[in-house]
A and B are shown apart, each in its own frame.
Chain A
Amino acid sequence: MSARFIFGFIISCLLTNIVWSAEQTKMHDTSNMWQKSLAGKQISSSAVFDERGTLWLAQVQEGHVMVSQSTDQGKTFSTAVKVNLQAEAVSASGETRPKILISKNGNVYISYTQSLDTPYAGNIRFSRSVDGGKSFSAPITVNDNLDPITHRFEAMGINARGQIYLAWLDKRDAVAAKNKDEKYHGIALYSAMSDDEGISFHANTKVADHTCECCRVAMAIDKTDTPVIVWRHIFGKNVRDHGLARLDGTTRKRDVDAVQRVTFENWEVEACPHHGPSLSISGDVYHMAWFNHGAERTGLFYAHSANGGKTFSAPINVGNSQRQAGHAAVLSQGKNIYLAWKEFDGEVTTIKSMYSHDGGVAWGAVQSVAETRDVSDHPMLIANKEQVYLSWNSQQEGYRLIALPYKQIAQQGGKQ
């Protein structure tokens, strides 16, 4: 071995190490990695129709929530408007997405989770447009605890009185317990309400202790204009079933008994299922879809309750459990109930749907609505008067709005 060769080898090894070390130093800050992990696949979107039938779409691009409109059922869209002018790590994958709602007077309301440098940490952000979506207010942070901890997975709702509600998963009590060396299962659920059209929010209110950490929260408004929320809760030691609460302003006991349990699959697991429920309300009836992997039952389920969630109909199994049926959306209009969910056969992801015209008792055949062969968002259902659509974003095809192939059977009353 010549001296020259050895020298060259040493130099090359050292150089590799230097480059490697530099890279290590550069990348050492795990927060950067956390941000990077969020940057890759921000395809989770939300859409809604306003009263005039215009479709409003909220998507995330390079750290901005972007809002565009379509007056031709999603064929063409207006130039997207930036909500947050300053780029943020907007969370938009899997269970988390920007939300968009339009009030009766045409205000546009946006909520989203801003991810922070610390893993799992976030803030619940809110912005509004009072000029028909031409411009948006500087986003405000709604959570009044500003520690760099979890405030994520927000759900947003608006009632006929124009009150805006947000509910989200919040770690402040878990952190407080840890600081006192106390045990605390999961995290907590908080909510806040605005009655000045989104200029400000009232103080945060705790809804429940001991929720699961990373499943989306579902919200729907009942006929008394009260928001109802459903989320994955931790019952007992570690049973991750679903809890329900009406945000009616009453003070709750801060224990597990205060939470109304609405599913009973008994999934005892210390894990993050990343699989939250869906809720829709028509008249007196709550319609719910959820996923569970419990000892009692396993799979994707639908059930309804005519007594405010005290009791539910026997859960029916939805979709093909051999094809990963999951992430269901439910939408109700009077007795017309729609379900959409995701299935995967090893190559193709398909959005399936089914329809009930009698309030969720009898269901028609399962239909395939759309498919893709790459990564895709969870399916959402939205309605423009009587026509119900699948609202779905996928990497390959982009955003799609697809009319569900069901003709509503005319009904008397009952519609919300």
Chain B
Amino acid sequence: MKWIFVIALAMGMYIAQAAQYTQPLKRGSFKEIVEAHAGKPFIVALWSVSCTHCSTDLEIFERLGKKYAGFTLVLIATDSPEQETEIRSTLNKYHLGQTEAKRQGKVESWVFADSYTERLRFEIDKQWYGELPRTYFYDANGKPTAISGVLDEEKTERWVNAKP
């Protein structure tokens, strides 16, 4: 009995740990992300562990993620893969880690993995100058609407509800 418990615990921790991995955003990754979500609305949120205003958005995402099964969030940190621990602890703080039991929505985490950040920014949006937070609302037709700065929670919830 004791052994089974240990096995279960070990496996559980093992899986939790593996699933929390933040994926590296390299050249071409963004296109793949958009393609992977084609046909369904989703939100791309660019943030950073050193961004003053981003935590307000993370709180909004935490609440919406708990409430809506249709809520799909792609978080992209503009930090570097070496900051994974800090990224992970920030996301866990807002219950946006990948194994959050209370969440209905889907969350994935990416991080800038190219020192030439200009190129990654350009692939995401030629009109994005790096200000944070920056959020894209992709509708079911793959058309994005961009917003710079802290989100309006009511409007964001309405958007999630409308399943555009």
Question: A410 to nearest B CB, angstroms?
Answer: 39
Interface residues of A in 1-42 (CB under 8 A from B): 6, 9-10, 13-14, 16-17, 20, 23-24, 27-28, 30, 33-34, 36-37, 40-41
Cβ-defined contact, B116 with A270, below 8 A: no
Question: B55 to nearest A CB, angstroms?
Answer: 11
Query: Which residue of chain B has the shortest Cβ distance to A36 in the bound complex?
Result: B82
Cβ-defined contact, B7 with A119, below 8 A: no
Q: How far apart sit A36 and B10, CA to CA, in the bound complex (Å)? A: 31
Q: Mark A318-352, 1 if CB is under 8 A from B, else 0.
A: 00011110100000000000000000101101000
Query: Which residue of chain A has the shortest Cβ distance to B115 in the bound complex?
Result: A375
Q: How far apart sit A36 and B49, CA to CA, in the bound complex (Å)? A: 12
Interfacial chain B residues near A272, Cβ < 8 Å: 51-53, 131-132
Cβ-defined contact, B119 with A37, below 8 A: no
Point out which of A24, A119, A213, A324 has the most chain B C-beta atoms below 10 A from its C-beta.
A324
Q: How far apart sit A14 and B14, CA to CA, in the bound complex (Å)? A: 8
Cβ-defined contact, B10 with A17, below 8 A: yes
Q: Is B65 an interface residue (CB 8 A)?
A: no
Q: In the complex, which range does the number of interface residues on chain B fall in?
A: 35 or more
Question: B33 to nearest A CB, angstroms?
Answer: 18
Cβ-defined contact, A119 with B50, below 8 A: yes
Cβ-defined contact, A324 with B129, below 8 A: yes
Cβ-defined contact, A27 with B85, below 8 A: yes
Q: How far apart sit A270 and B125, CA to CA, in the bound complex (Å)? A: 19
Interfacial chain B residues near A238, Cβ < 8 Å: 149
Interfacial chain A residues near B121, Cβ < 8 Å: 324
Query: Which residue of chain A has the shortest Cβ distance to B123 in the bound complex?
Result: A346
Interfacial chain A residues near B118, Cβ < 8 Å: 324, 344, 349, 375
Question: A16 to nearest B CB, angstroms?
Answer: 6
Question: B122 to nearest A CB, angstroms?
Answer: 5
Question: A258 to nearest B CB, angstroms?
Answer: 24
Question: A188 to nearest B CB, angstroms?
Answer: 14
Asked whether A10 and B85 contact (CB < 8 A) given A37-B79, A269-B131, A374-B115, the answer is no
Question: A210 to nearest B CB, angstroms?
Answer: 14
Q: How far apart sit A27 and B150, CA to CA, in the bound complex (Å)? A: 29
Q: How far apart sit A323 and B119, CA to CA, in the bound complex (Å)? A: 11
Asked whether A28 and B7 contact (CB < 8 A) given A17-B14, A271-B131, the answer is no
Query: Which residue of chain B has the shortest Cβ distance to A24 in the bound complex?
Result: B85
Q: How far apart sit A275 and B121, CA to CA, in the bound complex (Å)? A: 15
Q: Mark B111-146, 1 if CB is under 8 A from A, else 0.
A: 000011111011100110111111000000000000
Q: Is A395 an interface residue (CB 8 A)?
A: yes
Q: Name the contact of B149 in the complex, choosing from A24, A269, A322, A373 (C-beta under 8 A).
A: A269
Interfacial chain A residues near B83, Cβ < 8 Å: 33, 36-37
Cβ-defined contact, A13 with B50, below 8 A: no
Cβ-defined contact, B53 with A34, below 8 A: no
Q: How far apart sit A406 and B3, CA to CA, in the bound complex (Å)? A: 79
Q: How far apart sit A135 and B123, CA to CA, in the bound complex (Å)? A: 46
Q: Mark B3-24, 1 if CB is under 8 A from A, else 0.
A: 1001100110110010000000
Asked whether A269 and B17 contact (CB < 8 A) given A17-B10, A30-B86, A36-B82, the answer is no
Cβ-defined contact, A271 with B17, below 8 A: no
Q: Is A283 an interface residue (CB 8 A)?
A: no
Q: How far apart sit A321 and B82, CA to CA, in the bound complex (Å)? A: 32
Cβ-defined contact, A293 with B131, below 8 A: yes
Cβ-defined contact, B52 with A214, below 8 A: yes
Q: How far apart sit A271 and B135, CA to CA, in the bound complex (Å)? A: 11
Q: Name the contact of B85 in the complex, choosing from A14, A28, A275, A347 (C-beta under 8 A).
A: A28
Q: Name the contact of A269 in the complex, choosing from B14, B52, B80, B148 (C-beta under 8 A).
A: B148
Q: Mark B32-70, 1 if CB is under 8 A from A, else 0.
A: 000000000000000001111100100000000000000
Asked whether A346 and B116 contact (CB < 8 A) given A16-B17, A269-B148, A273-B129, the answer is no
Q: How far apart sit A323 and B128, CA to CA, in the bound complex (Å)? A: 10
Cβ-defined contact, A13 with B11, below 8 A: yes
Cβ-defined contact, A41 with B115, below 8 A: yes
Give chain B's interface residues, CB within 8 Å of chain A.
Answer: 3, 6-7, 10-11, 13-14, 17, 49-53, 56, 79-80, 82-83, 85-86, 89, 115-119, 121-123, 126-127, 129-134, 148-150
Q: 20 A–B contact pairs at CB < 8 A?
A: A9-B7, A10-B3, A14-B10, A17-B10, A17-B13, A28-B85, A30-B89, A33-B83, A37-B79, A37-B83, A214-B52, A268-B149, A269-B131, A270-B149, A271-B132, A272-B131, A274-B130, A274-B131, A326-B129, A346-B123
Taking A27-B85, A347-B119, A374-B115 as known contacts, 20 extra A-B pairs with beta carbons closer than 8 A to each other, sorted by chain A number, are A13-B10, A13-B14, A17-B13, A24-B85, A30-B89, A37-B50, A37-B83, A40-B80, A41-B115, A213-B52, A269-B148, A271-B53, A271-B132, A271-B133, A273-B129, A274-B132, A275-B129, A324-B118, A324-B126, A374-B116
- 4 closest A-B pairs by beta carbon, nearest first, are A13-B10, A269-B149, A271-B149, A270-B150
